């Protein structure tokens, strides 16, 4: 059990107010501005001390909440209680695993203080066609999750119920907010099988998003205050575990046969905010669900090559080869960009192989492109040029800052076009933009521009 004593913004704010109250010096305008800014950022969220949660959960275990009315048999695993960081706030969420009378449901207890009130909900993951007895808590650890995520109160009364199919949010089951708990009594809280719940048309109100895999609105994973605190706690929970999955993906990237110079770059990429895992997750709206094997080797003039989807299997993963010996003048920025670029190929290739129907449904434009391009390389590059140049640029900028570079956003954006020079999106750029971009890429890769004029590189030699 981890113990974290968070210093919330509210505390800082209070301390600042006290400090200014005691001083004889006039408060400067600049300080007032800082205060105003902090007041605006106060989100009304604060952590519940773990000891407090522990006592509360103990009492729940003892009293068996709802035993007389719903026989929910909630039993919280006190040893699993932990306090986890969530996005967009300093407050932390207390989470503990729990069991109920339903063996095929993975339940967790979530607790946080919202606007001065301790809120406690249960987060129930119910895979479709789950066996009656489950011992592993892995239902949401795959991006193909199909089933329901049901948020209930501690008596098991359903507050929100989201239906998923292959990782996609189908919608929220309409619980009719005009009938407060416990009447009508829905779903597991009443011991009614979920199949018996009538599913109405999916609700797509932004207030009720728990998860979506659309890259444009994937930020709904973030902690955004909404009219529905229960839903928000659920998204915070999902976000936390999503981040764990991303971290795990990055940690498991196989770099056994990668040269040390690239290992060093990959190590930094794993530690930045927008590293390969997060970049792919933002694009796909979910966390990467594949094994990526990186290695050094000889290629025929390319900087890197990723195997086709047809070669992927869960054991061997998807393999990317980097040819560092052919490009000895390349900078770390050049290789960092190439690694990011290939991570997208690896994701899209694996995702296709793992779930072709879902891939086709998710990327209709690539399916359409296949009709004319008819090869993976071109189709992927069109998609990356269309949708991911900015994401690669952002990730590369994160890398650059981590390495102490002070370079313009334009430079990183130009670098992000590496490998995409044959795409229709690139060709639609003005001739001068194309020239500048190609010169930037060439310089970082070789030390010369496209006219073979020696140029000063912005990155440092990768030492490969």
Q: In the complex, which residues of this chain contact another protein (CB under 8 A)?
A: 299, 301-311, 338, 341-342, 345, 349, 352, 356-357, 360, 366-367, 370-371, 374-377, 379-380, 418-419, 421, 438, 441-442, 445-446, 450
Question: Cα 427 from chain centroid?
Answer: 32
Distance CA 186, CA 175 (A): 8
Q: Minimum Å distance from CB 253 to another protein? A: 17
Cβ distance to another protein smaller for residue 121 or 442: 442
Q: Are 104 and 126 in contact (CB under 8 A)?
A: yes
119 three-state secondary structure: strand
Q: Minimum Å distance from CB 145 to another protein? A: 22
As to burial, measured by CB atoms within 10 angstroms (0-12 exposed, 13-18 middle, 19+ buried), residue 19 is exposed
Beta pairing class for 304-306 and 82-85: unpaired
Cβ distance to another protein smaller for residue 119 or 305: 305
Q: Minimum Å distance from CB 377 to another protein? A: 5
Q: Give which of 20, 18, 43, 41 is closest to 31, Cα–Cα.
A: 20
Cβ distance to another protein smaller for residue 62 or 374: 374
Cβ distance to another protein smaller for residue 272 or 445: 445
Cβ distance to another protein smaller for residue 73 or 448: 448
Q: Give which of 215, 209, 207 is closest to 386, Cα–Cα.
A: 215
Read off the tokens for 83.
């306090």
Cβ distance to another protein smaller for residue 238 or 396: 396
Q: How many residues would you count in the chain? A: 464
Q: Are 111 and 119 in contact (CB under 8 A)?
A: yes
Distance CA 230, CA 224 (A): 12
User: What angle, rounded to 10 degrees, do the helices at 332-354 and 260-271 form?
Assistant: 70
Cβ distance to another protein smaller for residue 257 or 375: 375
Q: Minimum Å distance from CB 109 to another protein? A: 42
Q: Minimum Å distance from CB 446 to another protein? A: 6
Q: Minimum Å distance from CB 302 to another protein? A: 5
Read off the tokens for 136.
């592993």
Read off the tokens for 187.
């779903």
Q: Minimum Å distance from CB 363 to another protein? A: 9
């Amino acid at each position: 059990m981890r113990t974290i004593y968070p210093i919330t913004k509210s505390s800082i704010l209070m301390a600042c107010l006290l400090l200014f109250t005691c001083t004889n010096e006039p408060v400067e305008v600049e300080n007032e501005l800082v205060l105003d800014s902090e007041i605006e950022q106060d989100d009304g969220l604060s952590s519940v001390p773990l000891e407090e949660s522990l006592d509360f959960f103990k009492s729940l275990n003892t009293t068996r909440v709802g035993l007389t009315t719903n026989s929910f048999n909630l039993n919280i695993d006190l040893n699993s209680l932990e306090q986890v960081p969530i996005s967009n706030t300093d407050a932390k969420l207390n989470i503990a695993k729990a069991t109920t009378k339903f063996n095929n449901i993975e339940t967790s207890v979530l607790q946080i203080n919202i606007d001065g009130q301790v809120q406690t909900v249960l987060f129930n993951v119910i895979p479709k066609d789950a066996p009656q007895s489950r011992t592993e808590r892995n239902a949401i650890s795959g991006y193909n999750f199909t089933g329901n995520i049901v948020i209930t109160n501690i008596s098991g009364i359903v507050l929100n119920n989201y239906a998923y199919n292959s990782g996609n949010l189908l919608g929220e089951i309409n619980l009719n907010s005009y009938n407060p708990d416990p009447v009508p009594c829905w779903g597991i809280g009443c011991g009614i099988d979920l199949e018996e719940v009538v599913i109405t048309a999916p609700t797509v109100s932004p207030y009720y998003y728990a998860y979506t895999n659309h890259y444009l609105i994937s930020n709904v994973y973030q902690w955004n205050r909404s009219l529905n605190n229960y839903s928000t706690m659920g998204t915070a929970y999902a976000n936390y575990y999503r981040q764990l999955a991303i971290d795990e993906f990055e940690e498991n990237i196989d770099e056994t046969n990668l040269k040390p110079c690239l290992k060093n770059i990959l190590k930094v990429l794993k530690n930045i905010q927008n590293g390969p895992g997060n970049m792919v997750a933002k694009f796909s709206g979910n966390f990467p669900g594949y094994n990526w094997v990186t290695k050094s080797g000889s290629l025929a003039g390319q900087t890197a090559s990723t195997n086709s989807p047809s070669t992927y299997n869960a054991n061997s993963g998807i393999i990317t080869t980097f040819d560092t010996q052919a490009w000895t003048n390349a900078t770390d920025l050049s290789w960092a960009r190439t690694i990011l670029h290939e991570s997208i190929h690896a994701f899209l290739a694996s995702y296709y192989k793992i779930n072709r129907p879902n891939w086709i449904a998710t990327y209709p434009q690539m399916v359409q492109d296949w009709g004319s391009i008819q090869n993976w390389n071109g189709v992927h590059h069109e998609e990356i040029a269309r949708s991911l140049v900015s994401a690669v640029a952002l990730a590369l900028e994160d890398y650059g800052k981590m390495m102490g570079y002070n370079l313009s956003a334009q430079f990183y954006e130009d670098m992000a076009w590496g490998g995409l020079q044959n795409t229709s999106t690139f060709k639609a750029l003005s001739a001068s933009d194309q020239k500048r971009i190609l010169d930037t890429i060439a310089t970082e890769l070789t030390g010369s521009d496209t006219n073979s004029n020696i140029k000063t590189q912005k990155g440092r030699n990768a030492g490969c």
